[in-house]
């Protein structure tokens, strides 16, 4: 026997797009916090003595605890406890981690405040400020990745069979607006170039945005409660099959899932770690200020804000998801080879960033709506968590690797910059070649994924809208 209600809340276009806006604002705040230090790399070197390898370790620390298993736990929590509990837990964790990161950069801590002696007593080559900031960033990283998989499952819940790829594209665009604001304005907020310049100002602004993001998700919770009540009223009396821990093995033995996960880690490792160094790379290759470099790097997420929803609409109506992943990986490779091997001018730098932005629109917009086509709904949260976990391995490793390579290829440069010497620049050739190599490998995996789709009939090339 089946009970029936005339229409679910998710059937209302206004309601589902309102829900999307609320969760997207949470992610926009998170993305600002993720990238707000990237335009301040030179300032962090001068103020806190963060050499490239230290900065690289800090940049990768966001993903450290997730790689150690917290992200898998987050996915299980999502499938067991639901969207509301997991989302609020994620938003709270981001706030806690952000506060710890802020504390590690305060004058109070660095002048011998609470726990300074402890954090100075080990790993003496790493400043205490970097250790505490990295710890806070790692805690924040648990929250932001937990929020990411929660929002992905939320969008599937409200938009499956409707404008799924467009909705995911709009969410990604809104989130990246936060990244653009960070690249455009973080240096200005910090007062770069002034006597009063201080990275703490940007971190404090980021904390305020995280608090706002918590509140917007809290508002969404009330909509989610209403939708669940309606869904229960219209559901069959026969209970749905629940997620089991053993289902993780089914996910991990799915060849299509593994291919899309490996493609994900390669592609994202060619974008997010690059953005951690992009401003400094522009400073050194073009001899410009960090603020100007931030404006150039910020064009990458700005471009995706407009293009990603269009790609999502195309995927909903025309399909070709696997093919677009191939094109996106190829554009990623072209952009990084340009940065590595071609004498850079302002115009060429902007053009290459735009090309990279196009790639960053094509691949994620195609990839995330493809996951529900490959795995069952009942363990979709854990599937997203596993994709994010594999992705996080690369996002943790490559910022550190790039920092080590940059330091090794430029002996003594960091010390000369820290001492105030002018006209000293890093050579970024090898770091950019590493990023280009990731793109080349991603192209190969994207071809394998399209072949697997033809074999298994996942429908990656088919439209999302039914």
- Domain residue spans in the chain? 12-229+245-456
Evaluate if residue 241 carries a pLDDT over 70. Answer: no
106-112: long-range contacts at Cβ-Cβ below 8 A with a sequence spacing of 24 or more?
A: 106/200, 110/48
Judge whether 190 and 301 are in contact, CB under 8 Å.
Answer: no
> Quick one: average pLDDT of 269-278?
91
Evaluate if residue 376 carries a pLDDT over 80. Answer: no
| Phi, psi angle pair for 89, to nearest 5° | -60, -40
Q: What is the pLDDT of residue 239?
A: 44
- Which tops the pLDDT comparison, 313 or 296? 296
pLDDT (tens digit per residue) in 337-359: 999 999 989 999 999 999 998 99
Which class is domain 12-229+245-456? Answer: mainly alpha
Q: What is the pLDDT of residue 240?
A: 47
Evaluate if residue 3 carries a pLDDT over 50. Answer: no
Distance in angstroms (rounded) separating the CA atoms of residues 219 and 355:
37
pLDDT (tens digit per residue) in 96-141: 999 999 999 999 999 999 999 999 998 888 999 999 999 999 999 9
Residue 2: band (very low, low, confident or very high) from pLDDT cuts 50, 70, 90 = very low
> Quick one: average pLDDT of 58-64?
90
Distance in angstroms (rounded) separating the CA atoms of residues 41 and 56:
10
Distance in angstroms (rounded) separating the CA atoms of residues 133 and 139:
10
> Quick one: average pLDDT of 153-177?
84
> Quick one: average pLDDT of 25-37?
94
Distance in angstroms (rounded) separating the CA atoms of residues 432 and 398:
12
Instruction: Among 231-245, 305-319, 402-416, name the most confident range.
Output: 402-416
> Quick one: average pLDDT of 62-89?
88
What is residue 379's DSSP assignment?
A: G
What separation, in Å, do the N-terminal and C-terminal C-alpha atoms of the chain show? 26
Entry pTM: 0.80
Evaluate if residue 390 carries a pLDDT over 80. Answer: yes
CA distances (Å), origin 465, targets 135, 250, 316, 422, 438: 43, 27, 5, 57, 32
> Quick one: average pLDDT of 370-392?
80
Q: What is the pLDDT of residue 377?
A: 72
Of the listed ranges 81-85, 225-229, 303-307, 406-410, the least confidently predicted one is: 303-307
């Amino acid at each position: 026997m089946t009970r029936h209600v005339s229409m679910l809340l998710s059937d209302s276009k206004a309601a589902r797009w309102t829900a999307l806006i609320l969760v997207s604002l949470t992610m926009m705040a998170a993305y600002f916090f993720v990238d707000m230090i990237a335009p301040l790399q030179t300032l962090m070197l001068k103020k806190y003595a963060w050499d490239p390898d230290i900065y690289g370790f800090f940049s990768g620390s966001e993903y450290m605890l997730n790689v150690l298993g917290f992200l898998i736990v987050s996915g299980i929590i999502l499938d067991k406890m639901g969207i509301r509990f997991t989302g609020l837990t994620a938003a709270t964790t981001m706030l806690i981690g952000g506060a710890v990161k802020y504390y590690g950069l305060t004058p109070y801590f660095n002048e011998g405040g609470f726990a300074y002696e402890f954090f100075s007593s080990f790993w003496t080559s790493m400043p205490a400020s970097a250790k505490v900031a990295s710890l806070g960033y790692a805690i924040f990283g648990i929250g932001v990745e937990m929020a990411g998989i929660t929002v992905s499952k939320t969008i599937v819940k409200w938009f499956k069979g409707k404008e799924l790829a467009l909705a995911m594209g709009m969410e990604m665009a809104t989130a990246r607006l936060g990244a653009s604001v960070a690249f455009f304005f973080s240096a200005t907020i910090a007062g770069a170039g002034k006597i009063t310049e201080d990275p703490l100002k940007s971190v404090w602004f980021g904390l305020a945005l995280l608090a706002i993001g918590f509140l917007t998700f809290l508002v969404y919770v009330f909509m989610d409660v209403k939708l669940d009540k309606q869904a229960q009223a219209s559901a069959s009396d026969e209970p749905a099959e629940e997620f089991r821990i053993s289902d993780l093995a089914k996910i991990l033995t799915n060849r299509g899932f593994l291919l899309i996960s490996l493609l994900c880690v390669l592609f994202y490792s060619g974008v997010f770690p690059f953005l951690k160094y992009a401003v400094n790379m522009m400073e050194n290759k073009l001899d410009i200020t960090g603020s100007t470099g931030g404006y150039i790097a910020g064009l990458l997420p700005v471009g995706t804000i407009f293009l990603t929803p269009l790609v999502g609409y195309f995927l909903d109506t025309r399909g070709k998801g696997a093919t677009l992943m191939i094109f996106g990986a190829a554009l990623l490779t072209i952009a990084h080879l340009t940065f590595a091997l071609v004498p850079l001018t302002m115009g060429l730098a902007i053009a290459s960033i735009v090309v990279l932005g196009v790639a960053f629109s094509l691949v994620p917009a195609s990839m995330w709506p493809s996951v529900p086509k490959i795995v069952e709904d009942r363990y979709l949260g854990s599937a997203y968590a596993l994709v994010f976990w594999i992705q996080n391995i690369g996002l943790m490793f490559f910022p550190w690797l790039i920092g080590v390579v940059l330091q090794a290829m430029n002996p003594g440069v960091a010390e000369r910059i820290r001492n105030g010497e002018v006209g000293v620049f890093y050579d970024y050739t090898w770091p950019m070649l590493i990023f280009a190599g990731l793109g080349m490998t991603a192209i190969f995996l994207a071809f394998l994924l399209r072949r697997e789709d033809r074999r298994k009939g996942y429908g990656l090339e088919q439209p999302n809208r039914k």
